A and B are shown apart, each in its own frame.
Chain A
Amino acid sequence: MATTTAAARVRKARRTSVGLKLAMAITGGLFVLYVLAHMYGNLKVFSGQEAFDGYAHHLRELGEPLLPYSGFLWVMRIGLVVALVVHVWAAVSLWRRANHARSTRYVKFRPVQATWSSRTMRWGGVALLLFVIFHLLQFTTMTIQVGGSFDSPYDRVVAAFSTWYILAIYVLSMLALGMHLRHGIWSAVQTLGWSTRRREPAIKRTALVIALIIVVGFLVPPIAIFLGVLE
């Protein structure tokens, strides 16, 4: 079996389906960290218009004068786009592989213990990708403006989430995100090889807790705005 050089073995190892899974686990981990930081920024909305707009402005000045204006944001954007391309490319490769692995379906199939989260990762991921595109068109490029045009990020957010259908889109998207993370975080930990039989229940619980924190943390500001707590 050991007839190849180490370099050839490494190349072969990278091409395996577990190599693809590792790429998904690492990029997915970056997304979780980013989403937590994003949630922290959103919650600034409760500190008032000045603090929220100041935070948005400060993100552009972060790292100055070492970085140019908005330099930090561009580093983040480029990093996230690269991670997204890798994550989606690996997901599509594994999805195609799985489809070819069972072309004849069962007449009757009953999962024994699979969570709904674990069985909706692929279409849930597609839904999240569509949501991210919509979200960027709304708040980054400002191609879609709901409730009027404003210079202040705070005013923009309040106007958008006072609209019922925008709130509905975000509630559904965040529930999809929570489901994706519930299985995704556990799956990433197992793929990185940190799971053992003893740790497994704790890893799954932690994944659920992080997913719940993210869902609640992202939904509290829009719901507060819709109910008129913030204006």
Chain B
Amino acid sequence: MRITLNVWRQQNAQAPGRIVSYPRQDVSPEMSFLELLDVLNEDLIAQGDEPIAFDHDCREGICGQCGVMIDGVAHGPQRITTCQLHMRSFADGDTITVEPWRADPFPVIKDLVVDRRALDRIISSGGYVSVNTGSAPDAHATPLPKENADRAFEAAACIGCGACVAACPNASAMLFTAAKVTHLGELPQGQPERAARVVSMLDSHDAEGFGGCTNIGECAAVCPAGVPLDTISQLNVDLLGALSPRRPG
């Protein structure tokens, strides 16, 4: 396959970036997208050029490191992580634009690598359950209906890749925040801090400089972990509850 990659190159957070074009003649359809970047980088290194910096780790779709904007869509044309994307998803002769996630709370570190620690700070503001951990309790010590367990698990599938922020026209991290609020809010252990959690996490979300949600739904449409849009509805319910002074937590 002949593929032209138009890649965003940026030396550091302060330097201005620009798109650089890299035409390739020898792309195999079986290659993953990251393997194409690897091959391109080997050539760049051989030529004495600076290789393209990009985040990646597990390369099996579970770590959430490898997010980049591919042709205007977070993680590219399929609803999977970038590492799971293969060149057979593209046509011979395609020109593909590759950019970093764009959001002010995600400053570019270099080329396609952004600093996503803002998401960690949202989690540390309340995305946990404060209980003393001893030995693991019996699995059936706290009964939980299957549907709540399933929903908690579905929300907990979030890998924190940041695609929701990247795809959102408002650069909002609401789906990310809602996934954690839903995950813990569905579980009995999450109840005592439920009201405080949603307020602390939203306060942190807003303070990090993410935009507000306008329910457009681009986030859930690109989420490689399949976190559903109605988690945001659930977060809104929790915030409504937190507005009542009678609510504990």
Chain A residues within 8 Å of B, Cβ to Cβ: 1-2, 4, 6-7, 9-10, 12-22, 94, 97-98, 100-114, 118-119, 121, 183, 186-187, 190-197, 200
**Selected contact of B242 from candidates A9, A100, A186, CB within 8 Å:** A9
Query: How far apart sit A24 and B36, CA to CA, in the bound complex (Å)?
Result: 46
A14 touches B243 (CB 8 A): yes
What does the 1/0 interface line of B188-201 toward A look like (CB < 8 Å)? Answer: 00001101111110
A1 touches B125 (CB 8 A): yes
A13 touches B170 (CB 8 A): no
Interface residues of B in 107-145 (CB under 8 A from A): 125-126, 128, 130
Per DSSP, chain A at the interface is helix
A21 touches B212 (CB 8 A): yes
> When A and B form their complex, what is the total count of cross-chain residue pairs whose Cβ atoms lie within 8 Å?
175
B212 touches A20 (CB 8 A): yes
Query: How far apart sit A111 and B195, CA to CA, in the bound complex (Å)?
Result: 34
7 residue pairs from A and B, CB less than 8 Å apart: A10-B244, A13-B199, A16-B206, A17-B213, A98-B170, A190-B232, A192-B240
A193 touches B236 (CB 8 A): yes
Closest residue of A by beta carbon distance from B215:
A187
Cβ of B9 to closest chain A Cβ, rounded Å: 12
Residues of chain A with a CB closer than 8 A to B239's CB: 13, 16, 18-19, 22
Query: How far apart sit A187 and B229, CA to CA, in the bound complex (Å)?
Result: 12
Query: How far apart sit A107 and B5, CA to CA, in the bound complex (Å)?
Result: 13
Residues of chain A with a CB closer than 8 A to B209's CB: 100-101
Q: How many residues of B contact A (CB 8 A)?
A: 64
Query: How far apart sit A110 and B96, CA to CA, in the bound complex (Å)?
Result: 13
Query: How far apart sit A64 and B244, CA to CA, in the bound complex (Å)?
Result: 38
Query: How far apart sit A187 and B213, CA to CA, in the bound complex (Å)?
Result: 10
B237 within 8 A of A: yes
B19 within 8 A of A: yes
Query: How far apart sit A172 and B220, CA to CA, in the bound complex (Å)?
Result: 32
Given the contacts A16-B239, A17-B205, A18-B202, A101 and B214 also touching, CB distance less than 8 Å: no
Residues of chain A with a CB closer than 8 A to B85's CB: none
Given the contacts A2-B249, A186-B215, A107 and B126 also touching, CB distance less than 8 Å: no
B97 within 8 A of A: yes
A101 touches B245 (CB 8 A): no
B161 within 8 A of A: no
Residues of chain A with a CB closer than 8 A to B6's CB: 107
